[in-house]
Structure formats: C-alpha cells, structure tokens
Amino acid sequence: MRILVCDDELLIRELIRDYCINEGYDCDLAEDGSVAIDLCERNDYDLIIMDIMMPNVDGLTAIKEIKEIKDIPTIMLSARKEEEDKLLGFDLGIEDYVTKPFSPKELMARIKVIMKRYNKLDSISVGNITINNSTHEVFIDNEIVDVTSTQFELLKLFIENQGLALSRDKIIECIWGYDYDADDRTIDAHIKLLRSKLGKYRDSIKTIRKVGYKFVYEEK
C-alpha cells in the first residue's frame, strides 16, 4: 500500500511517514498541493493524507484537481474546526476529516478502516487465496493463476459464501442465471477444473452429497 502525505509542516510529514512505515505502508511526501498534484499525476496511491491550509495550492484545491484525474481516498487534516471546511471536503469526496492536533495512533486506525473498506471493493482474500475484482485476477501464495472467466466467478462465489453449502441450482443461478441450460455433470466439470487451478488448496472446495458444494479454506 502506498500513501501520499501532503502537509507544509516538515515535522508533521515526517511523523506521519514514520508511523506509516511502521505499519508497513510505503509513503511519499509533499510540502504543498501543487507537489501533491504532480506526484498523483506520475504515481498511483492507495490513500492521500492532505492538509487544508498550505501555501501555493491549498488542500481543497489540490483534492479537487486530483479527483479530476484519479479517484483516490483522502483523509483531510486541518488546524481549523470550521464546519464549512468539513462540508467542502466531503463535497469533494474525502473519506475522513481529522483536526489538528491529532493522535498519530488514531490517524493510523482511521487509515486502516479506509484501506479495509476499499480493499473489500477491489479484492477479496481468504488465507493465501486472493481474487481482484478490478483486474479479474486470482493470486495463490502471491502468484498469479490463469483462470477462465467462469472459474473466476465460481471462486468469487465460493469465497463470498465461505462455509455455506451451495446447491448446484444456486450456483447456476448466481453464475449464469435462471435460463442457463446445464445439468449436474456440467457444474461438476467446472468445479473439477477450478479445483485443479487451486493446486494444494483444491480440497477447500468440499462436495456436499446430494446438495452441492461448500468452500472451507484449508491452510497448507
């Protein structure tokens, strides 16, 4: 995860950077909004921490310009407590607003909440298996695995319903829709191929006799 910290106070930039690094995040620094805009044009970030009151280009202006090129979740910092600043920030699409002085530990907690929220939208993980909704990729033990579109959707369905028994009819409905013409053997064939792609985790897909299948992750 890569975070951009933009604040005109060097001590605050470095303090946040040190806490971010301790949490395992990569961190870039910007001293004003213009530098932040330039960095966002050249790099991809998972989160921005943006001060409002800065010389040259202020935080609100920077956020507005960045949002026009990239949709990056943002936490706004400010020494001011005016409600108008908060409303302007939320109108621009910020995720959170933190008033100075602030607790670095609380800021890290807010970062984790936002990261978790966005990661759920982009990817779903169980153990060492991860599916990325944006790229339609599957990773097992941090290695990309070549899967078909159907196999991707099947694995996504299983992970989202981990521990629940899914009938073959339910699987057909969720993956292909009501009108799909398939029998049990067709579904079983798809499951067999998906298991082969899971390698050592193939036994995580359990056969439930006279019902269908259930996904229960088994660490290897």
- Digits of tens for pLDDT over the chain (220 positions)? 789 999 999 999 999 999 999 888 889 999 999 999 999 999 989 899 999 999 889 999 999 999 998 888 899 998 776 667 778 888 888 888 888 889 999 899 889 888 877 765 677 888 899 998 878 899 999 899 999 888 999 999 999 899 999 999 899 888 877 665 667 788 888 999 999 999 999 999 999 998 999 999 987 7
pLDDT at 81: 67
**Class of residue 155 by CB neighbours under 10 A (exposed 0-12, middle 13-18, buried 19+):** buried
Per DSSP (E only), the strands in the chain are 2-6, 26-30, 47-51, 74-78, 96-99, 123-126, 129-132, 137-140, 143-145, 165-167, 205-208, 212-215
81 and 185 together in one domain? no
Q: Where are the beta strands (DSSP E) in 135-210?
A: 137-140, 143-145, 165-167, 205-208
Q: For residues 173 and 94, state if they share a domain.
A: no
- In the listed set 122, 143, 175, which residue is the last one of a domain according to the structure? 122
- Looking up residue 16, the CATH number of its domain turns out to be 3.40.50.2300
CATH (domain of 166): 1.10.10.10
Output the pLDDT for position 150.
87
- Does some domain include residue 18? yes
Q: Is residue 190 included in any domain, yes or no?
A: yes
Q: What local confidence, expressed as pLDDT, does residue 31 receive?
A: 95
10 within domain boundaries? yes
Note whether residue 45 is domain-resident: yes
Q: Which of 117, 98, 146, 108 is nearest to 20 (CA)?
A: 108
172 touches 161 (CB < 8 A)? no
| In contact, 206 and 215? CB cutoff 8 Å | yes
- Residue 220 resides in a domain: no
Distances (CA, A) of 174 to 34, 66, 79, 161, 182: 47, 37, 50, 12, 13
Same domain, residue pair 132 and 116? no
Are residues 14 and 118 located together in one domain of the fold?
yes
Q: Which two tokens stand for residue 124?
A: 């779903």
Residues 34 and 118 in one domain: yes
Question: Are 56 and 108 contained in the same domain?
Answer: yes
Last residue of a domain, one of 91, 122, 153: 122
Residue 104 to residue 162: CA distance in whole angstroms: 36
Between CA 18 and CA 109 the distance in angstroms is 15
**So what's the pLDDT on residue 125?**
83
Residue 63 near residue 34 (C-beta atoms within 8 A): no
Asked if 12 and 118 sit in the same domain, the reply is yes
**Roughly how many angstroms between the first and final C-alpha of the chain, as a whole number?**
26
Range of the domain at 156: 127-215
Q: Are residues 53 and 148 in the same domain?
A: no
- Total number of domains constituting the chain: 2
Answer yes or no: are the C-beta atoms of 165 and 157 closer than 8 Å.
no
Q: Are both 26 and 108 inside the same structural domain? A: yes
One-letter identity of residue 147: V
In a shared domain, residues 93 and 189: no
Parallel/antiparallel/unpaired status of strands 205-208 and 212-215: antiparallel
Same domain, 11 and 45: yes
Both 68 and 45 in one domain: the answer is yes
Give the per-residue pLDDT at 219. 79
Among 104, 122, 140, residue at a domain's last position: 122
